[in-house]
Amino acid sequence: MNKSTLISLALLSALSATAQRTTQNLRQWQFSRDSINYKSVTIPHDWAINGPFDKKWDLQNVAIVQNGETEKTEKSGRSGALPWIGRGYYKTTVDIKRVPKTAVLEFDGAMADPHVYINGKLAGHWAYGYNAFRVDAAPYLKKGKNEISVSLNNREESSRWYPGGGLYRPVQLVTTADRASINPWGSYFRTELIKDGKAEVSVCTNINNAEKCLVVENLLIDNEGKTVAQTKTASDVEQRLTVENAQLWSPETPYLYKLVTRLYRNNRLVDETTEKVGIRTVSVAQYDGFQLNGKSRKIKGVCLHHDLGPLGAAVNKAALIRQIRTMKDMGCDAIRTAHNMPSTWQMEVCDSMGMMVMAESFDMWIYPKCKNGYALNFKEWADRDIENLVRNHRNHPSIVMWSIGNEIPEQWSEEGRQISEHLQALCHKYDPTRPVTQGMDQAEAALGSGFAQVMDVPGFNYRVHKYDNNIKQLPKGFLLGSETASTVSSRGVYKFPVEPSDSKTYADGQCSSYDVEYCPWSNLPDDDWRMQDDRDYTIGEFVWTGYDYLGEPSPYDEYWPSRSSYFGICDLAGLPKDRYWLYRSHWRTDVNTLHVLPHWTFPGREGEVTPVYCYTNAPSAELFVNGKSQGRIVKNPGTRLDRYRLRWNDVRYEPGELKVVAYNYDGSVMGERTVRTAGKPARIVLEADRSSIAAKGEDLAFVKVSVVDKDGTPCPTATNKMKFEVTGAAKFRAACNGDATSLVAFNLTEMPLFSGELVVVVEGTKQGKATLKVSAEGLPEETLSINIK
């Protein structure tokens, strides 16, 4: 580190010490369901995730129009079969030594309909549970102890999936000692131009209670602490800065700068903020398609609901990091925050890890999809919700487009076209740098009304066979697969005979992991890839979904006890299904993928046809069963399922060994994979995603629990009931086995394996060592040590 850098850092530290802005994370609260009996909780908090599961919580008698249903039927797990409906109450106390000049309570989301009281007086209200909102707290605060309380109300039939309940995202109290203060939501950082290694960026700082004597200073600081651009000006004046040798943000190189903003009165520092920003440009145009930093690329995205499986809706950075890491390892470069505003933590993780984002807003407008959904609030709140969405998140480089809706019923109407124009214009008003899209599922209606044509990016959900007709009516010359696939599967479950189907169900409430089953409105990954690869006008896709989520258990909406989805490329525990490797084989061009399915442990199937699939980026492979060749086959671009997969459809099961040898185009061996028949479970295996975690901030380790036989072969059908105990510097947080039909609560310390695996979540509590002990009847106990820093 050079001398100038040290001086810059020292000056920054000294100035920061004089600024009088304080940010207090309000993490410790009291919670009650009846406003009488309270218990201590830590925010973020989801009051319903620990269950118990029960079909009575949100039993609905409805027809799901989006699924093509015309008659009402009983839906028992549509919103997760967890007790999220009803009222909840939170309260906390803040001790203030001096009454601040400005004070803002920042809620990143509260489910739902939050009313905020300070010292018994209503200080603020917001209708939408997914959106961030701010409350001016200054008029209500006093010196000494101040009580902040929040009342929430989740109505029945207000969600099509599990929304969670409570203060499920962070709450902060931000105060300043001077009346004039920086307003981060009113300020922006934009990349205007990238050329010849230089970047032109614009910065505008908004000031609360601005005065003529105030001066704003902006400094852009690189990762080495060097100031690469700076300016001084009055507030609310856009400034252009030139950055030499600009480091660009992208999924491959997620470089972040630090933007320091300082506010002075007569050369005295009165306020200061710091945020991470990225330099990058986004554009979409005919022939060029989607461009990031001037380079065309097709989006390889997934949709993600907001719940984090066994953690519920309570946002957690460690879980988000694991989620994004898993998706990136598969080759995914973008997520769609389906179908609601994302959390700030999620966007920060996407910024730092390099994941592009479509930030979505609404699942409905005026016409309802469920009785008490957002349609009740749209006319009064939609404009304010769009404003908060964009102002809150527009400085995140990861966000590359906004979405104003998903499968909106108004697609066919002039009214819907006008609303689309209006909401899109609002996005442009607050952020002119990003395009706007929405997901349309009624192509003919949306095109006939002009609903699709007004969008910056026409997004179509499913029905890829209509793409060629759609594009003829789109003057912009491109379209996006805003929601694709909806292929369904259960991890490690294989059904016979193996045949593509859009309507198969089974008595056990599971779906086949051969990845050939989907829903009547959807399709297979192979169908989407054919259109993405063969049509220049397609700019990418967002697969439904990257992870399984609570609620929407199609195709088992009427089956109990199904209570979570089957759409995920990974299951609810975050464990990859076979489909993960299918996507990886197509999306990852920098590494080799070789995956074989099914497992080879099928007692009683001896002699029966048991197809073998191989997911690989290699063009050909040969299969051996107990050393006997089943033939060498080559991918066939002319067929639906053999263009991207290698399949041996006539293999007859015999216990022993499968071996696949994959070959490059030049005939050399790319790699080989062996799958063996398992014996009885003999020991437990524990594998943590990290060997050490932090003691603070609810840091988590995700530990995969499985069993193997005496030779170390994984037991893929094992259902042993596992018992967990965490001692030392951590605590047990949750467990999940990925079974959509399991009614075992996530907070219990006993759970059966599903397809031979489950995940235990361990949370650090203090510095030291923690030990996870896992036991099962008839098996030796196994332990795992985790460092807590």
Whether the CB-CB separation of 63 and 74 falls below 8 Å is answered with no
Residues 311, 421: Cα–Cα separation, whole Å? 38
Exactly one of 157, 360, 407, 410 is catalytic; name it.
407
Which of these, 704, 688, 698, 684, lies nearest to 787 by C-alpha position? 688
Q: Is 677 helix (H, G, I), strand (E, B) or coil?
A: coil
Give me the residue label for tokens 């951590």: 730
CB atoms within 10 A of CB 152: 21
Whether the CB-CB separation of 651 and 612 falls below 8 Å is answered with yes
Using only C-alpha atoms, the chain has a radius of gyration, in whole angstroms, of 27
Given 3-state DSSP classes, what are the helix, strand and coil percentages for the chain, each rounded to the nearest 5? Answer: 15, 40, 45
DSSP letters spanning 621-634: EEEEETTEEEEEEE
End-to-end CA distance of the chain: 27
268 — phi, psi (to 5°)? Answer: -105, 130
- Specify the DSSP class assigned to residue 699: -
The structure tokens listed for 334 are: 């973008």
Whether the CB-CB separation of 79 and 159 falls below 8 Å is answered with yes
Q: Is residue 483 among the annotated active site residues?
A: yes
Whether the CB-CB separation of 26 and 172 falls below 8 Å is answered with yes
Q: What dihedral angle (degrees, nearest 10) is formed by the CA atoms of 379, 134, 261, 221? A: -80
Count of all residues that appear for the chain in the document: 789
Residues 670, 684: Cα–Cα separation, whole Å? 32
429 — phi, psi (to 5°)? Answer: -60, -45
Q: Is residue 407 among the annotated active site residues?
A: yes
| Whole-Å CA distances, 203 to 198, 214, 246, 643 | 16, 17, 16, 49
Q: Which residues, 6+ apart, have CB-to-CB distance to 415 below 8 Å?
A: 366
Give me the residue label for tokens 């949100």: 58
Q: Kind and range of the H or E element at 540? A: strand 538-544
Residue type, 754: F
| Bridge partners for 357 per DSSP | 335, 399
Give me the residue label for tokens 């907070």: 747
Q: Is 317 helix (H, G, I), strand (E, B) or coil?
A: helix
Exactly one of 272, 483, 541, 552 is catalytic; name it.
483
The structure tokens listed for 628 are: 């006997």
Residues assigned a catalytic role: 407, 483
